[in-house]
Amino acid sequence: MPSRTIVLTGASDGIGAAAARQLAERGHRLLLVGRSAEKTAAVAQGLGAEHFVADFAKLDDVRALARDLLTTTDSVDVLANNAGAILGRRALTVDGHEQTFQVNHLAPFLLTQLLLPALQSGEGIVVNTASSAARRLARFDIDDLEGERSFGPNRAYGNAKLANILHARGLQARYGDAGISAVAFDPGNVRTSFATGSTSILRFVYRTPLARLLLISPEQGGENLTFFADGRPGTTWEPGTFYTERYPATPDQTNPLVHADMLVDLLWERSEAMLSRAR
């Protein structure tokens, strides 16, 4: 398969770093993005990749990242929106948005929009890393996306991960005819530092000695991300579909709201409106 130019966020650790190693072995050009300058540089230097730093809690960072990427390349074959986090008590970013919603959904939504011209010049693949939390934890309210009326860290994370899936569906519906192929997937429960800085009870799952038995390795999670970034839409995987690891999610693995076309459209419209106010 020809080499691709792949933008990979959340590349400094966990499944992002693992996928970066795997994709580099396949000969792809990698543009790695992370929040930690030191950790992202270390991963990139070990692979001979290019690296960029952005804090998704700051939308100006996302805009600057897009400008830097578009200066580096005029064609992006794959955008892997892998960055994300489960955070603590409700707090607002410098942009005035609830931090979990912004970091996990609004910032990747903005980055994708800003890179669309470059994506349409390339293979045009967008891969969103979602989670089983979209089914287990989400209590999605389109009129309360930022948890002003009801908030909990687990619920906020589940809602944001459901938004990742709805975003992929919206991309496919709007830009599929222009050559964009979008997909969302749950990488599995991966043994990483995820949730370490959170107040969520989930942080104990990742710290327990049983984690080695209960959770898959970062390499396995990375292989699931690599499957989509390195695959061929329509052959390896079907655009617009939600996957659990590398298989189409079954009904019991899927939040029923995933299939709500009206919700896909409403989330898209609300996200655009939030970003227009944040300029």
Active-site residue, selected from the candidate residues 157, 175, 206, 243: 157
Can you tell me which residue has the tokens 């990979």?
Answer: 8
57 CB-side CA count, 13 A: 12
Tokens 């499944």, located at residue: 15
- Alpha-carbon span 244 to 248, nearest angstrom: 6
* Active-site residue flag, 206: no
Query: Annotated active-site positions, please?
Result: 157
